[in-house]
Structure 1
Amino acid sequence: MLRSFLLLTGAAALLTACGTITLKPAVNLGVNTQDLNSTVTVTKLITPADPATGAPQQVSWDVGDAGTATFTFTSKPGGQAGYITGYRYKTDTVNGVDRVVAPVQGLNLYFSSGYTCTRLRTGTVQTCDLLADSDIQAANGTPITMNIDLASAMADVVMSTDATVDRRTTLVFTGVSASNEAFEVEVAGIRTRAQKIERYQ
């Protein structure tokens, strides 16, 4: 894969001279933001006190399955291939209060370049080679998707505050391009809701 990256970079000047395709000097990565919201339901189960037996009221909690925020990355036409190597929290608020920023989370997620060719379309290769593929054209890259669970941790906050929790987050994804250049992609508007409901037993 590294060889393909180097070939993509080294061949750019030749193609520019021929007036064919130019390789952009950096990643040009788009993010689909339609599935960034996630939820989890936290149910407070209340067993009333029993005066006849003297049993006190009892409370327990049931946490439902947590949804995930879905991130879909796609190289725009002409963008380089590369790897997303991690993400960090730029902002993270819970019910309007800033949280302590979590440490960087590591990833190893490959994304293809913003080019297409026959070998890529048939699944023979992960990215086109400017020297080996004569039919290469600038086009959207192959989308890649990852999920991040931002909701599960909010269940504990619901139980400690006895209230519904609304979380707003901005993440910054970091990585390295085919030409070994660092890049960042910021994704804002991520919303997580942990809904508290009460049920008497």
Structure 2
Amino acid sequence: MGRPATHTTQQFLDAATKLFADGGARAVTMAATAKAAGAPNGSIYHRFPDRPALLSALWLSTVGDFQDTFTQALGDATTLDAAVEAATSVVHWCRKHPDGGRVLDAGKQAFGPADWSPEARKAVAEGETDLRKALKAATVNLPPLTGCTGEDVVLALVEIPRAVVHRYLSTGRTPPPKAVTLVERAVRKLLSA
């Protein structure tokens, strides 16, 4: 019977997230991640067979948590308040997880998806499909209620919150509370026009 694992997958992912936030994708090596997690070098290979597996898991974990928060806030996208809650959830999530926000801000391409396993690429595609479905529902449901267009909805739910958090995350700062207010005001104004 082997020894029980002393380091969890989540501990390695948390360490990799911090490494990425501090130094970009180049900083996320197997050895550096193990060291940052306080684990022996070999132990990381029990969780991830190679660096592309670590990078894909980092992206999948981060984007999955973010998308769950966003789609839960959006719900069935049948009210202006749901749209505002979804848009502001982007800022709230990045405030709560600033290192994760930097992962998202960098985008999937920063994590070398061409080297990912077919299973990881499939999981990412499924998550992207789920997000597109939620946004599609919003572009169908909200315009008749608000008088806005589908393009307005996408701008309100995706582009406005993304632009607001990017200005902070791209310079290593956590979005301040006023960023929530800014997104809320802009989205409410756009979708109430």
CA radius of gyration, larger in:
1
TM range (shorter): under 0.3
1 or 2 for the larger relative contact order (CA 8 Å, sep ≥6)?
1
Taking structure 2 as the reference length, the TM-score comes to 0.26
Structure with the largest fraction of strand? 1
Structure with the largest fraction of helix? 2
